[in-house]
Amino acid sequence: MDPPMSEDDNKSVGHNELTSAITVSLHPLVIMNISEHVTRTSAQQNDGKPFEVFGAILGKQSGRHIEMMNSFEVKWSDEGKGYAVIDASFLSTRQQQYQEVFHDLDYVGWYTIGSTTPTHADWEVHQQFAVLHESPIFVKLDPKAPPGNKLPVAIYESVSTSGLSTSSPSSVMWHSVNWSLASEQAERIGIEHVAQISTVSASTISSTNKQIAGQMGAINMLQSRLELIYDYLLAVRKGELPRDEVVIREIAQLVRRVPVLGSDKFLQQYKNQGLEVKMTSLVAVLTKTCGTLNDLVTKMNIMSMERQTWLLASSRRTRPFPAV
């Protein structure tokens, strides 16, 4: 058994301010997955003690540019070595399952949480993730960072200083990687929706919602005023209120301002508008249904792969030994 690590082992190791030639485009889905992983783990523990999370990142690589698009969490254990021991079998199996579903995504890196400076424990975990990739990109998120305009995310690349071996921290330096947020239209819409329902601040209301709310207020006010005029005319007809010629003339002028459409033309336009509203609603329902079916197919593929893996492992355990 390896001896326990001292306090100095968790300090930053092999880190400098050099910038890597690699550039990274980080999608919001990766940040949201990491944040959800941290929040769920913190809620499950509910004891205030420090904890760690680890996961793999999937994406695309073109030359020196890497696009990080998705991620998944991995199993790990604490064996008293001072750093996490990643379940290599689970990592390899899950990576293959994701690659079968998302053919264009490859394993490009891994993530954890803590101060944005790499430590010796991070290096030990990095070596375990390097089994699937020669030089995975390291993403670190600090959940305890104070609120600000900058995301508490740091990305590093491990670079060998000797040019021969990367088996020890002394032969490797962490180089900071320049990164930027990259999102598609669907991601931006989803993030805006999540931001609106996750806070009660009025500043998160979109311009479309403000416009619709203003129009609804104006329509409600118009309806209340029209009902008031109708009630007045009805009361005058019944003799409950005296007839005021000035008010009647103003009501007549107001009525003459309203354009009167022919019945056939009005009904046709009303019918067309109703059909357009129904078609718009139908398209929204179909889009939601397609998204649900896509998620279902993805989950079924993953479950099928896990079941096949389990059946294969079970058949190997129950296979009888050959007679001697």
Quick: pLDDT tens for 36-55.
999 999 888 877 788 899 99
Exposed, middle or buried, 94 (CB in 10 Å: 0-12/13-18/19+)? buried
pLDDT band of residue 3 (cuts 50, 70, 90) is very low
- Better-predicted residue by pLDDT, 162 or 91: 91
pLDDT band of residue 157 (cuts 50, 70, 90) is very high
Judgement on whether residues 88 and 150 belong to the same structural domain of the protein: yes
Residue 204 in any domain: the answer is no
End-to-end C-alpha distance for the chain, whole angstroms: 37
Q: Which residue has the tokens 């809620």?
A: 43
pLDDT in tens, 190-208: 777 666 665 545 555 566 7
Strand-pairing partners, residue 205, are none
Judgement on whether residues 245 and 280 belong to the same structural domain of the protein: no
Q: Is the pLDDT of residue 286 over 60?
A: yes
Quote the percentage of the chain above a pLDDT of 70: 82
Residue 166 has a pLDDT of: 53
Residue 48 has a pLDDT of: 75
Contact 105, 56 (CB under 8 A): no
pLDDT in tens, 6-26: 444 455 555 555 677 899 999
For residue 179, give both structure tokens.
């990164």
Residue 318 in any domain: the answer is no
Instruction: From residue 12, give the alpha-carbon distance in Å to each of 124, 138, 275.
Output: 12, 14, 64
Residue 202 in any domain: the answer is no
Give the whole-angstrom CA distance, residue 111 versus residue 138. Answer: 6
Could you tell me which residues come within 8 angstroms of residue 131 by beta carbon, excluding any fewer than 6 positions away?
88, 91, 92
**Range 223-252 average pLDDT:** 91
Burial readout 167-180 (b: 16 or more C-beta within 10 A, e: otherwise): eebebbbbbbbebe
Judgement on whether residues 78 and 162 belong to the same structural domain of the protein: yes
Residue 1 has a pLDDT of: 38
Residue 320 in any domain: the answer is no
CATH code of 125's domain: 3.40.140.10
User: E strands along 79-235, which residues?
Assistant: 84-86, 106-113, 137-141, 153-160, 172-181
Exposed, middle or buried, 55 (CB in 10 Å: 0-12/13-18/19+)? buried
Residue 141 has a pLDDT of: 93
Residue 127 has a pLDDT of: 92
Residue 38 has a pLDDT of: 93
Contact 88, 54 (CB under 8 A): no
Judgement on whether residues 94 and 76 belong to the same structural domain of the protein: yes
Residue 106 in any domain: the answer is yes
Residue 107 in any domain: the answer is yes
pLDDT in tens, 61-111: 998 999 999 999 999 998 888 899 999 999 999 999 998 888 899 999 999
Residue 172 has a pLDDT of: 77
**What is the extent of the structural domain holding 215?**
209-258
Residue 7 in any domain: the answer is no
pTM of the model: 0.56
Judgement on whether residues 232 and 282 belong to the same structural domain of the protein: no
Judgement on whether residues 274 and 238 belong to the same structural domain of the protein: no
Give the whole-angstrom CA distance, residue 309 versus residue 96. Answer: 11
Judgement on whether residues 46 and 167 belong to the same structural domain of the protein: yes
**Which of 217, 234, 258 is the last residue in one of the domains?**
258
Residue 5 has a pLDDT of: 44
Judgement on whether residues 122 and 171 belong to the same structural domain of the protein: yes
Total of domains in the chain: 3
Judgement on whether residues 126 and 173 belong to the same structural domain of the protein: yes
- Across the chain, what does the average pLDDT equal? 82
